[in-house]
């Protein structure tokens, strides 16, 4: 069982195809593609039956957290997945995760078995799962990610996510990726991840391309769509 801890700022931008081309052209001399290249990231977000975690997150409190299971592509039951506790406090993102098999992760999250190994991060995840109670798969999210890292600053990374899809059925990482799209055709979600500030050269490129910071949560957007549809259904029933 592998442990990982990340602490950084994450700044998000929504790009059209022209703006993405400008960014990638600028990256040619400043950034290197991730050694793993493009990957499909699959997630299961866990929440309470009344969606407490995402509702509180969307209220933009000083502190918020999410619990998810993540894999890189579709996996088998014995394939590697990550249980991630993602916290955000005062603008800084703290991501703590452990790796285990998809089979063990699903059994643990269902409450059938404990984690296979004891660790500090595992205890934090365990506390979160027990604190919120009745956590269950709420939304499946997948997307194609292209990641870059800086050749000058090891703390600077950037990612482009496209084909962001969500669903509330077949919420298993062993199932094939797919679902309903969140972005418009040609759009990408661009994220800058850094332990300090965005470097000046990147600020200048963003300004030249007319790119402005955006507030965008993948799970939050999926929840917003679900809520709007549920409200329309309730109004429809009431009118009948």
Please give the pLDDT value at position 220.
97
User: Would you say 153 and 137 are in contact if contact means Cβ atoms under 8 Å apart?
Assistant: no
> What share of the chain has pLDDT > 70, as a percent?
97
Distance CA 172, CA 105 (A): 11
Q: For 3-239, which CATH superfamily applies?
A: VTC, catalytic tunnel domain (3.20.100.30)
* Sign of the dihedral through C-alpha 178, 181, 182, 188: positive
Residue 222's alpha-carbon distances to 51, 123, 140, 180, 191, in angstroms, are 12, 29, 9, 9, 18
Per-residue model confidence as pLDDT tens digits over 56-66: 999 999 999 99
Instruction: List the alpha helices (DSSP H) in the chain.
Output: 17-30, 52-58, 102-109, 120-132, 200-208, 218-239
Evaluate if residue 108 carries a pLDDT over 90.
Answer: yes
pTM for the complete prediction?
0.93
In the block, tokens 């969500």 appear at 166
Per-residue model confidence as pLDDT tens digits over 88-99: 999 899 999 999
Domain boundaries of the chain, sorted by first residue? 3-239
Per-residue model confidence as pLDDT tens digits over 37-54: 789 999 999 999 999 999
């Amino acid at each position: 069982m592998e442990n990982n801890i990340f602490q950084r700022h994450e700044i998000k931008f929504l790009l059209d195809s022209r703006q993405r081309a400008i960014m990638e052209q600028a990256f040619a001399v400043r950034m290197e593609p991730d050694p793993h290249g493009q990957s499909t990231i699959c997630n299961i977000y866990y929440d309470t039956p009344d969606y407490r975690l995402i509702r509180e997150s969307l209220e933009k409190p000083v502190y918020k957290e999410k619990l998810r299971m993540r894999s890189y592509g579709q996996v088998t039951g014995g394939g590697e997945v990550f249980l991630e506790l993602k916290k955000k406090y005062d603008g800084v993102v703290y991501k703590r995760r452990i790796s285990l098999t998809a089979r063990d992760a699903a059994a643990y999250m269902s409450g059938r078995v404990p984690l296979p190994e004891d660790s500090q991060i595992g205890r934090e995840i365990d506390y979160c799962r027990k604190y919120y109670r009745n956590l269950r798969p709420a939304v499946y999210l997948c997307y194609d990610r292209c990641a870059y890292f800086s050749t000058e600053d090891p703390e600077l990374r950037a990612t482009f996510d496209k084909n962001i899809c969500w669903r509330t059925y077949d919420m298993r990482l062993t199932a094939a990726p797919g679902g309903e799209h969140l972005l418009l055709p040609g759009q990408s979600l661009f994220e800058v991840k850094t332990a300090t500030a965005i470097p000046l050269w990147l600020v200048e490129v963003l300004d030249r391309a007319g790119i402005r910071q955006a507030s965008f949560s993948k799970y939050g957007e999926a929840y917003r769509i679900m809520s709007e549809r549920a409200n329309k259904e309730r109004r429809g029933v009431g009118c009948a």
